[in-house]
């Protein structure tokens, strides 16, 4: 596990989100330290995706603020937040199904490359040709990184759902983020694909990218996370290491109900 810096890269500071009379998030606060893998967990409807949407600019909080590397993200568009170094994937895949995997990643790279002018592109000037060579080389590297080299020339729509999720990760990594938010990335993956994805997450972190993860696969979360933040009904109920979260009565109750939490507490007391 890599060393984690003391200063947080992301701070969610007493954020609240209301939709009319519905409170989606209430006074949520947590930090993500640079270099760590932090997972955000909770039952369905706990507010996890709402929190992601606030952090990435898709949703404006009713109260509180989010700071990334000390900068207040209030009022910034998702594109502007992405250019600050914070990228995300989504619960559902968003590939171009009739284009190859390589072309999908190239589309993402073209969106990020503002160096070549319109005239360069129209007349295929040397700068544009050199840029295209560099983009293709970068695309190959990203596709290899996420483990899709053997599928690079296949239509993205022909890939399995899990493989399409990997294309989405490659697109996010194309922006060269310092922090990556993964929204239920192993949803739809089989056990082998999930294991491979866990290795990918560690590889991404080892290359200096901080990770905030939302995921329902608890064995995967417990295995890959440095720290876990648990929500229920839009409120923070626990923040700690995987071992601490696994034994936390509030977390057990949120997932299994009060009776299960009481039984677990009894077992803990019996072994004390």
Between 71 and 126, whose confidence is greater?
71
Q: Average pLDDT of the chain?
A: 86
Residue 67 · residue 127 · CB < 8 Å = no
Cα torsion through 43, 47, 49, 52, rounded to 10: -130
pLDDT of residue 2: 45
User: Domain spans of the chain?
Assistant: 8-95+159-271
Among 212, 244, 215, 249, smallest CA distance to 31 is for 212
The CATH number that domain 8-95+159-271 falls under is 3.40.50.300
What mean pLDDT comes out for the span 200-225?
Answer: 94
pLDDT of residue 205: 95
Between 190 and 90, whose confidence is greater?
190
pLDDT of residue 255: 85
- Percent of the chain with pLDDT strictly greater than 90: 61
Burial class from Cβ neighbours inside 10 Å (0-12, 13-18, 19+) for residue 105 reads buried
Question: CA-CA distances (angstroms) from residue 23 to 40, 53, 91, 195, 210?
Answer: 18, 15, 22, 36, 29
Among 157, 215, 147, smallest CA distance to 187 is for 215
| pLDDT(122) > 80 | no
pLDDT of residue 212: 97
237-269: string of b/e by CB count within 10 Å (b at 16+)? Answer: bbbeebeebeebbebbbbeeeeeebeebeeeee
pLDDT of residue 272: 54
| pLDDT(262) > 60 | no
The CA angle 15-16-18, to the nearest 5 degrees, is 155
Tens digits of residue pLDDT in 23-45: 999 999 999 999 999 999 999 88
What mean pLDDT comes out for the span 258-263?
Answer: 54
pLDDT of residue 134: 85
Nearest-angstrom CA–CA distance, 257 and 254: 6
Tens digits of residue pLDDT in 135-171: 899 999 999 999 999 999 999 999 988 899 899 899 8
The least confident of 37-51, 86-100, 253-267 is 253-267
pTM of the complete model: 0.83
What mean pLDDT comes out for the span 108-114?
Answer: 64
| pLDDT(114) > 70 | no
């Amino acid at each position: 596990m890599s060393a984690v810096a003391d200063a947080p890269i992301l701070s969610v500071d007493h954020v609240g989100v209301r939709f009319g009379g519905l409170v989606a998030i209430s006074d949520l606060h947590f930090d993500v330290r640079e270099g760590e893998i932090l997972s955000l967990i909770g039952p369905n409807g706990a507010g996890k995706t709402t929190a992601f949407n606030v952090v990435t600019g898709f949703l404006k909080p009713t109260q509180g603020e989010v700071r990334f590397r000390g900068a207040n993200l209030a009022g910034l568009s998702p594109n502007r937040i992405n250019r600050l170094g914070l990228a995300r994937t989504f619960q559902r895949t968003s590939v171009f199904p009739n284009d190859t995997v390589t072309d999908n990643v190239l589309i993402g790279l073209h969106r990020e490359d503002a160096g070549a002018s319109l005239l360069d592109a129209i007349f295929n000037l040397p700068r544009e040709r050199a840029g295209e060579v560099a983009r293709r080389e970068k695309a190959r590297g990203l596709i290899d990184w996420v483990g899709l080299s053997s599928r690079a020339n296949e239509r993205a729509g022909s890939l399995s759902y899990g493989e399409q999720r990997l294309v989405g990760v490659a697109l996010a990594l194309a922006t060269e983020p310092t922090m990556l938010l993964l929204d239920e990335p192993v949803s739809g993956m089989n056990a082998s694909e999930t294991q491979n994805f866990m290795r990918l997450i560690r590889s991404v972190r080892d290359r200096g990218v901080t990770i905030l993860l939302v995921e329902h696969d608890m064995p995967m979360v417990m295995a890959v996370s440095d720290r876990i933040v648990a929500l229920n009904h839009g409120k923070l109920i626990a923040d700690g290491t995987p071992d601490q979260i696994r034994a936390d009565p509030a977390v057990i109750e949120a997932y299994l109900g009060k009776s299960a939490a009481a039984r677990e507490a009894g077992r803990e007391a019996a072994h004390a």
